[in-house]
A and B are shown apart, each in its own frame.
Chain A
Amino acid sequence: MPEINEIMTDLAGILADFNGKEYYDPIGPDTLFMAELGFSSIDVVILGETLESHYQTDISFGDFIASMTEQNVQDVPVGALADYLSKTL
Chain B
Amino acid sequence: MSKESELFLFSAESREELLGTLSAFESQITAGHGLRELANHSYQSAGHHFPRLAIIAADSGDLQTKVSRAIDKLSNGHPKITDTSGVYFTETPINANGQAKVGFLFPGEGSQYPGMLSGLLEKFPELNGILEECDTRNDSSAHLEKGFTRFFQAVETLTTEELSDIQDDLKRIDHAMFAILIADWMMFHTVCQLGIRPDTIAGHSGGELIALMVSQVLTGPDEQFHILCEGFRELGKFRPEGAPESRLLAIGKPAEFAAQIIDRASEEQGREIDAYVAMKNCPHQTVIVGTRESIDLVEKLIVKKGVIAQPLSIEQPYHTPLFAPYMSALRRMFEPLSFHPVDFPVYSCTTAELFPPDPEQIFELTAAHWECPVEFIQLIENQYRDGVRCFIEIGPRNHLSSFTDDILRSKKDTLVVPSNTERSNDFEQLQHLTAQLYIHGFTVDPSCFFDTTPAVAQDSKEAILTSHFEVMEEFLNLQHAVMNQYLSGTQPGPEPETFEEAPRPYPMVDEIVELVGGHRIVTRRTMLLEEDLFSDQHTVGGRDLSQVNPEQHGLPLVPMTFSIEMLAESAKILFPELVVTAMSRIKLYKWLDYSETGIANAQVVAELNAEKSTPDRLHLEAKVYHWKGSEGPDLKRPAATAVIELSSAFPAPPHSDQFAVSNERPCGVTPAQLYQNLFHGEVYQGVFEMGKFGDEGIEAQIGALPREALYRSNPDPKFVYDPVLLDVSLHPMCAWHLEQEDQSGRILLPIGVDRIEFFGNCPEPGTPFISRAKLVKETSRQFTQQVDVIDGNGQVWCKMIGSQYWRFYLPFRKFNFHGPKNIYMLSLDFEIPSHIGTAKILEIPEDLRNPVMQPIGAKVTLSESEYSEFQKLELPADRISQWLFGRITAKEAVREKWSQLTGEALYTADVIIEHTDKGRPVATKRGSKTPENFPHITLSHCGNTVVAIASDIEQVGVDIEKIVPREKSFLKIAFSPAELEILSSIDPEMLEWPTRFWSAKEAVGKALGTGLEDGPRSVEVIAVDQPTGVVTVKLANRPSPGYLDKGITVYTTVSDDMAIAYTICETLENAIQPDKFQYAGD
Contact = CB atoms under 8 A, between A and B. Distances in A.
Given A58-B306, A61-B308, A62-B303, A41 B82 contact: no
Nearest to B398: A40
Interface in A10-28: 19-25
Interface size class of B (residues with CB under 8 A): 20 to 34
Contacts of B449: none
B82 A45 contact: no
Interface in A29-74: 34-35, 38, 40-46, 48-49, 58, 60-63, 65-66, 69
Contacts, number: 69
Contact of B252 (A25, A48, A63): A48
Given A35-B423, A41-B285, A48-B252, A61 B406 contact: no
A42 B403 contact: yes
A45 B83 contact: no
A58 B305 CA distance: 10
A46 B282 CA distance: 12
B308 A24 contact: no
Interface size class of A (residues with CB under 8 A): 20 to 34
A46 B84 contact: no
A28 B1050 CA distance: 83
A82 B405 CA distance: 26
B399 interface: yes
B308 A22 contact: no
Contacts of A22: 81-84
B332 interface: no
B275 interface: no
B305, B402, B406: which has the most chain A beta carbons within 10 Å? B402
B477 interface: no
Nearest to A40: B402
A2 B405 CA distance: 32
Interface string B387-407: 000000000001101110110
Nearest to A32: B423
B306 A61 contact: yes
A49 to B, nearest CB: 8
A38 B421 CA distance: 9
A23 B421 CA distance: 17
A16 B82 CA distance: 11
Given A21-B82, A41-B250, A63 B306 contact: yes
B121 interface: no
Nearest to B421: A38
Contacts of A46: 284, 406
A19 B83 contact: no
Contacts of B307: 62
A66 B308 CA distance: 8
Given A22-B84, A45-B252, A60 B399 contact: no
Contacts of A66: 303, 309
A58 B307 CA distance: 11
A59 B302 CA distance: 15
Nearest to A46: B284
Contacts of A69: 310
Interface in B83-121: 83-85
B252, B285, B302: which has the most chain A beta carbons within 10 Å? B252
Contacts of A44: 252, 308
Contact of A42 (B69, B81, B282, B306): B282
26 contacts: A20-B405, A22-B84, A23-B84, A24-B69, A34-B423, A35-B423, A38-B84, A38-B423, A40-B398, A40-B401, A41-B285, A41-B399, A41-B402, A42-B285, A42-B405, A43-B402, A45-B252, A45-B284, A48-B252, A48-B308, A61-B306, A63-B303, A63-B306, A65-B308, A65-B310, A66-B303
Given A22-B83, A24-B69, A42-B406, 8 more contacts: A22-B82, A34-B423, A38-B421, A41-B310, A44-B252, A62-B252, A62-B308, A63-B303
Interchain residue pairs A-B with the least CB separation, the first 9 = A45-B252, A40-B402, A60-B306, A45-B284, A42-B402, A62-B308, A62-B306, A21-B84, A22-B83
